[in-house]
Structure 1
C-alpha cells in the first residue's frame, strides 16, 4: 500500500490530475463527480446482482441462470463513469484505475459478501492486450487486492480464444460468443475462493464463462465484482419485472 501511494503522489506531482467530470485540478475523478454516478442499490437479483423490483431473481436469471456464485456491481455504467472507463481503456489514462479500483474495494468490504482468498481479473486475449497495451480489469483488480489485502493472481486464468465484441449481441449470442474462451491453469487455484474482477457487466456472460473455467481448474467458489453495470430497462407486470 505504501509503495503504491508514494508512486501515486509522484505521478500527481509530475502530471497534475484533472477530473474527467468537472475538469477541476486535483483528482482524476473528484469525490463530487464520483458521488453523482448512480449506484446499483437494493433490491438486487440474488444471482446476477441487477436491480430488480422485489423478487429474489430477475426475469433473465429465472430463465437462464448463471453458474457463477453471484455478481455484484458498484455503479450503473453512465455519466462520468462511462467517460472515465473510455479514458482508462482506450486513451491510456491508467491512473484512473486507482480511484475506481478503490471504490470497488470499499464496496466489497462493506457488502456482506461471501469470503474470498484471491483476486483474479478477467483476462484479455494476447492480441487485444498487445493492441491496447494494458488490461483495464487487471489494473482494477490489482487495486482491489491491494486495498482488501487479498492475494492478486493475474496468470492463472487466460483467454485462450479471441472473441468478437459483445456489443449488439443478445443474451444467447453473448453466451455462445464467450463459451470456451477461457482456460485456468490446472491446480493454480485449487480449493481457492475467487473474487473475479471485470470493468462492466451487461448480461454476465463473460463473467460466467470465466467462472466456469476457474471452477473447471479447481477453484472452490467464484463470485464476480464489476465497477459498472449496463442499466436494463424493465417493464413491471403483475408485481414482477420482465425484459
Structure 2
C-alpha cells in the first residue's frame, strides 16, 4: 500500500545539492557552516511548554482547553506541536520548504516523533498533508512527506502519501484571515477510502497556524472512512492561535 520512501523528483535532489554548494549550509541555531542543524543544537530549539490546550496545543492560562476549543473545537481529535513558530524553528521551516534543505527533515522529524511519543495516542497510519501536483512538480518534493517518513521510521508506523490528495490548487494561506483560510481549502482534498477505511490516521505537517488546512484534510479523511484523525506538526503559530481564541470570545 505505502511506498518505501518519500517521493523526491530528480530536479529537487539536484537543486538541493547545487544550493548546498553555492550557499553552504549553516546551522539554524549556532550558524556554524557545514550542516543545517548541529546535533548538539537540537536540544536548544525552543519548545512549547505546559500548560497547553489539550485539543490544539496553544498555550493556555487556565483549564484543559483554550477558549477557542471550548466554543468551536477544531474538527480533529487533537493537534500536537513541538515548538512555537518563531526564531530558529521558523528559519528551519523556511529552509526546508524554500531553500531545499531536505536534510533538515531527519532531525526535525525526530523532534516531532518525540513529541508524539510523549503526548500522543495509538494510531495506525501516518499521512502527510499533500501539495497540489503543480506545486509538487515546481518544488520537487513535499516537506510534509519528508517529515512524515522521518516520524514513521522513529515510531515504526507506515506512511502513505497516496492516501490523501489535493484535488484543487489553493492560494497561499499566509496572507489570509481565519474565515478566508477555511474557504480557501474547503473541498481541496480527497481521501482514498480503500487506504484509510476504519483506520486511526495521524496527519503530519510542518506548521499549524489556524488549523484550517488540517481541518480540511480531516474532513476528507473522515469522508473516506477514517475512524479518527489526529494531527502532528513541528511548529504552532502561537500568536495566530491566541488571536483566533480572542475572535472566539476570549
TM-score by length of 2: 0.83
Aligned position for 2:200? 193
Aligned position for 1:142? 149
Aligned position for 1:122? 129
Pairs aligned (count): 227
Please give the residue correspondences for 1:1-243 in structure 2 after superposition, counting only pairs within 5 Å: 18-25=26-33, 27-111=35-119, 113-232=120-239, 234=242
CA contact (8 A) 1:194 1:219 kept: yes
Q: Quick one: structure 1 residues 44 and 184, their matched pair in 2 at CA, closer, same or farther if it must change by over 3 Å?
A: same
Q: Which runs of 5+ in 2 are unaligned?
A: 6-16
Deviation by residue 1:14-55 (Cα, 9 ceiling, x = unmatched):
989642322225642124543333211221212212111112
Q: What is the alpha-carbon distance in structure 1 between the residues aligned to residue 126 and residue 35 of structure 2?
A: 26
Q: What is the alpha-carbon distance in structure 1 between the residues aligned to residue 61 and residue 239 of structure 2?
A: 12
Q: What is the alpha-carbon distance in structure 1 between the residues aligned to residue 200 and residue 206 of structure 2?
A: 20
Aligned-residue RMSD, C-alpha: 2.4
Where is the helix percentage greater, Structure 1 or Structure 2?
2
Superposed displacement of residue 67, structure 1: 1.3
Q: Which runs of 5+ in 1 are unaligned?
A: 5-10, 236-240
Q: Quick one: structure 1 residues 106 and 26, their matched pair in 2 at CA, closer, same or farther if it must change by over 3 Å?
A: farther
CA contact (8 A) 1:33 1:80 kept: no
